């Protein structure tokens, strides 16, 4: 009996020591955790880990950034997932900055219909885009209006943040997943937009027949949130894109005035001096978005006749682009995946009746690339687009951003463009060319077009500051100037720009604005924030067919499984205790 009692005392003593030791370890871990901040993300795709560029951005915040998120309410499963993930993402942001605060609001909470409508109207005026969905209720289908977005405020400024991705033809599950993938970038981008005090300068060139201000009004307005947007005329002015900076020691350095320039659909010849000015802008680290049509074709003449001609447009840029690693081809691309255009097919009284037909000369481009510029991008509309090839130095890394579909036809110039192709459905047998690239990103080491071509008087002139090569630069070349062109309409006798990417005939909105914004942001981004857009979160959706076929089995597993597991654990624990204390 005494031996048994002594054994029990030792067991109690061991248990007490183990308890005190475990408690001490827990306290020690908490003390260390109060001084050393760390988080563990065990997911395969690191969905709960912020990028270093985002963490740096959060460390630099100097005031409260407040998010009013309008994703509260009785939603379908997909929107509940988006709401929950948004909350988790904002919590992750708060873990790295005490200046992040948020609240979730239900815009449909008001009982009064007029009050709800007033709230909806105010949110639309603030820039949030509503989504109308059908929700299954006990009494049947009911339409519900959701605002998947937030109003973000910082100091005296506020901006809308739309959280829902917009992708034509994508399944609802994929749209939700893509929206979740873009959360970190979209939230970080909103913070950057609000907290940037000094905006980099970019410029749209003019003087070579580029698009007019009204034709680029929407994208310039969108870019103005991040950049100071100007227009610049080169006109052989050596100081158009650069300026001399006083070093303070009696010497001067020639530097760029702009972080990037946009050359949007020029149609007249560039002189050698203008090309030199652009070349030196690149050699000094300037970024360029080229949007150049190698073929002249327009719909204007088709308004009066059924045919027009597409001819080569030579504006003396071929050698310069070739030096930078790109060749624009003199052809037009036809694609079965194309934008519909309205055609008069009859009349009712004096009113013409329109029918929409795919116009194969206007390919709609859908990217499958994971590059940040085009990752999860909505389809992009084009007009009379040509192909391009990557050429030249291996020191320039080329990345294709956009290309046509597998149902492509190449029409070399000169080419007759006729409305006759609308009279019958396209035959896939006529569209067998490989997908053709139409937008490319070039990065790396660039050499000057004028290297070894100039006299010493020019290369050694201090006011010019000639540079013959540059490392780690980048540019984007697109073989369609209309990608950046917004449509216009008459409003009270004056022209008014429509949103870039919006097609007034079909009422669809394409991804042109996001694409151009991504292009400029990537060209000007030295923080690495754009790389967040390439993050991929796997969509682990249930197989609905299998789930329904084995519904009872899965219900039994989910209900009875945990109960049986606890009972089994109790039996094992009881058996082990009896064996341990019976000795």
Measured N-to-C along each axis, helices 172-181 and 183-195 cross at an angle, to the nearest 10 degrees, of 50
Region of residue 452 (phi > 0: left; psi between -120 and 50: alpha; otherwise: beta): left
Residues in the chain: 583
In a domain, 237, yes or no: no
In a domain, 529, yes or no: yes
- Which range has the worst mean pLDDT, 15-29, 133-147, 234-248, 263-277? 133-147
pLDDT at 362 over 60: yes
Structure tokens at 258: 């702009």
How confident is the model at residue 579, as a pLDDT? 73
How confident is the model at residue 296, as a pLDDT? 95
Same domain, 455 and 565: no
Which residue would you say has higher pLDDT here, 553 or 21? 21
How confident is the model at residue 46, as a pLDDT? 55
pLDDT at 149 over 80: yes
Which residue would you say has higher pLDDT here, 464 or 513? 513
Average pLDDT over residues 225-249: 90
- Per residue, the 3-state secondary structure of 159-186, as one string, reads EEEECCCCCCCCCHHHHHHHHHHCHHHH
In a domain, 255, yes or no: no
Q: Residue 138 and residue 22: Cα distance in Å, rounded?
A: 53
pLDDT at 81 over 60: yes
Q: Residue 265 and residue 293: Cα distance in Å, rounded?
A: 6
Average pLDDT over residues 272-292: 97
Same domain, 574 and 520: no
Split at pLDDT 50, 70, 90, the class of 237 is very high
In a domain, 45, yes or no: no
Q: Residue 553 and residue 566: Cα distance in Å, rounded?
A: 20
Split at pLDDT 50, 70, 90, the class of 30 is confident
Split at pLDDT 50, 70, 90, the class of 441 is very high
Same domain, 571 and 471: no
**If you search the block for the tokens 């408690």, which residue do you land on?**
23
In a domain, 577, yes or no: yes
Average pLDDT over residues 126-136: 80
Average pLDDT over residues 517-531: 83
Please state whether beta strands 494-497 and 260-264 pair in parallel, antiparallel, or not at all (unpaired): unpaired
Same domain, 22 and 91: no
Average pLDDT, the chain: 86
pLDDT at 537 over 70: no
Q: Which of 161, 193, 225 finishes a domain?
A: 193
- Which range has the worst mean pLDDT, 169-178, 234-243, 473-482? 169-178
pLDDT at 546 over 80: no
Average pLDDT over residues 565-579: 80
- On whether the CB atoms of residues 199 and 228 are closer than 8 A, the answer is yes
Which residue would you say has higher pLDDT here, 40 or 235? 235
Split at pLDDT 50, 70, 90, the class of 139 is low
Average pLDDT over residues 552-571: 82
Split at pLDDT 50, 70, 90, the class of 234 is very high
Q: Which of 158, 178, 193 finishes a domain?
A: 193
Same domain, 487 and 402: yes
Average pLDDT over residues 413-421: 91
- On whether the CB atoms of residues 527 and 297 are closer than 8 A, the answer is no
Q: Residue 295 and residue 310: Cα distance in Å, rounded?
A: 6
Same domain, 405 and 317: yes
How confident is the model at residue 561, as a pLDDT? 79
Q: Residue 294 and residue 274: Cα distance in Å, rounded?
A: 19
Expressed as residue numbers, the domain containing 582 is 545-583
pLDDT at 492 over 80: yes
How confident is the model at residue 62, as a pLDDT? 87
How confident is the model at residue 5, as a pLDDT? 64
How confident is the model at residue 36, as a pLDDT? 55
In a domain, 244, yes or no: no
Average pLDDT over residues 473-485: 97
How confident is the model at residue 9, as a pLDDT? 67
How confident is the model at residue 380, as a pLDDT? 95
Same domain, 33 and 171: no
In a domain, 20, yes or no: yes
Q: CB-hemisphere CA count at 13 Å for 25?
A: 6
Q: Residue 194 and residue 155: Cα distance in Å, rounded?
A: 9
Structure tokens at 420: 């006759």
Split at pLDDT 50, 70, 90, the class of 563 is confident
How confident is the model at residue 171, as a pLDDT? 73
Look up residue 407 and give its DSSP letter.
Answer: S
pLDDT at 578 over 80: no
Average pLDDT over residues 376-389: 94
Direct distance between the N- and C-terminal alpha carbons of the chain, in angstroms, rounded to an integer: 12
Which residue would you say has higher pLDDT here, 305 or 141? 305
Count of structural domains within the chain: 4
Same domain, 392 and 529: yes
Same domain, 318 and 354: yes
In a domain, 97, yes or no: yes
How confident is the model at residue 135, as a pLDDT? 67
Compute how many other C-beta atoms are within 10 angstroms of the C-beta atom of residue 182. Answer: 20
Which residue would you say has higher pLDDT here, 256 or 143? 256
- Which range has the worst mean pLDDT, 248-262, 268-282, 370-384, 538-552? 538-552
Q: Which of 193, 213, 236 finishes a domain?
A: 193
Same domain, 57 and 92: yes
- On whether the CB atoms of residues 115 and 108 are closer than 8 A, the answer is no
Same domain, 145 and 116: yes
pLDDT at 494 over 80: yes
Q: Residue 63 and residue 549: Cα distance in Å, rounded?
A: 54
Q: CB-hemisphere CA count at 13 Å for 20?
A: 6
Same domain, 497 and 560: no
């Amino acid at each position: 009996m005494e031996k048994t009692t002594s054994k029990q005392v030792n067991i109690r003593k061991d248990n007490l020591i183990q308890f005190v030791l475990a408690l001490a370890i827990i306290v020690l871990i908490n003390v260390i955790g109060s001084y050393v901040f760390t988080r563990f993300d065990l997911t395969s795709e690191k969905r709960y880990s912020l990028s270093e560029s985002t963490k740096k951005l959060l460390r630099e915040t100097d005031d409260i950034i407040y998010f009013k998120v309008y994703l509260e309410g009785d939603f379908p499963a997909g929107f509940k997932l988006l709401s929950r993930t948004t909350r988790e993402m904002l919590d992750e942001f708060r873990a790295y900055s005490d200046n992040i605060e948020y609240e979730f609001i239900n815009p449909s909470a008001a009982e009064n219909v007029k009050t709800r409508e007033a709230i909806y109207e105010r949110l639309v005026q603030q820039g949030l885009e509503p989504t109308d969905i059908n929700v299954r209720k006990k009494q049947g289908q009911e339409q519900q209006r959701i605002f998947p977005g937030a109003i973000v405020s910082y100091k005296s400024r506020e901006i809308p943040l739309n959280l829902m991705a917009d992708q034509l033809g994508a399944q609802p599950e994929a749209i939700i997943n893509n929206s979740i993938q873009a959360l970190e970038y979209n939230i970080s981008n909103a913070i950057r937009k609000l907290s940037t005090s000094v905006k980099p300068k970019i410029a749209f060139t003019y003087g070579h027949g580029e698009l007019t201000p009204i034709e680029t009004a929407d994208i310039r307005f969108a870019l103005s949130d991040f950049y100071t947007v100007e227009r610049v005329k080169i006109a052989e002015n050596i100081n158009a894109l650069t300026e001399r900076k006083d070093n303070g020691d009696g010497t001067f350095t020639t530097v760029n005035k702009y972080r990037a320039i946009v050359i949007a659909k020029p149609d007249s010849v560039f002189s050698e001096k203008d090309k030199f000015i652009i070349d030196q802008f690149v050699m000094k680290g300037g970024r360029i978005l080229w949007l150049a049509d190698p073929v002249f074709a327009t719909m204007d003449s088709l308004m009066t006749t059924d045919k027009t001609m597409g001819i080569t447009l030579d504006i003396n840029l071929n050698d310069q682009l070739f030096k930078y690693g790109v060749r624009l081809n003199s052809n037009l691309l036809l694609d079965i995946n194309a934008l519909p255009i309205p055609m008069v097919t009859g009349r009712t009284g004096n009113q013409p009746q329109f029918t929409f037909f795919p116009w194969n000369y206007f390919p709609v481009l859908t990217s499958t690339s994971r590059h940040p510029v085009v990752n999860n991008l909505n389809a992009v509309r084009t007009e009379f687009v040509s192909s391009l090839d990557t050429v030249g130095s291996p020191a320039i890394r080329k990345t294709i951003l956009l290309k046509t579909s597998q149902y492509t036809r190449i029409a070399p110039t000169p080419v007759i463009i006729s409305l006759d192709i609308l009279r019958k459905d396209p035959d896939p047998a006529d569209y067998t060319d490989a997908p053709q690239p139409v937008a490319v990103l070039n990065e790396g080491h660039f050499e000057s077009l004028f290297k070894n071509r100039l006299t010493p008087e020019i290369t050694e002139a201090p006011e010019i500051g000639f540079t013959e090569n540059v490392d780690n630069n980048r540019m984007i070349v697109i073989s369609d100037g209309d990608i950046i062109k917004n449509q216009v309409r008459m409003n009270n006798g004056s022209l008014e720009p429509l949103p870039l990417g919006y097609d007034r005939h079909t009422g669809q909105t394409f991804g042109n604005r996001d694409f151009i914004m991504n292009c400029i942001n990537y060209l000007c981004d030295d923080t690495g924030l754009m790389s967040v857009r390439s993050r991929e979160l796997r969509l682990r959706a249930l197989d609905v067919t299998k789930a329904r076929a084995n519904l009872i089995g899965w219900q039994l597993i989910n209900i009875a499984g945990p109960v049986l597991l606890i009972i089994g654990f109790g039996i094992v624990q009881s058996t082990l205790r009896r064996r341990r204390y019976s000795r």
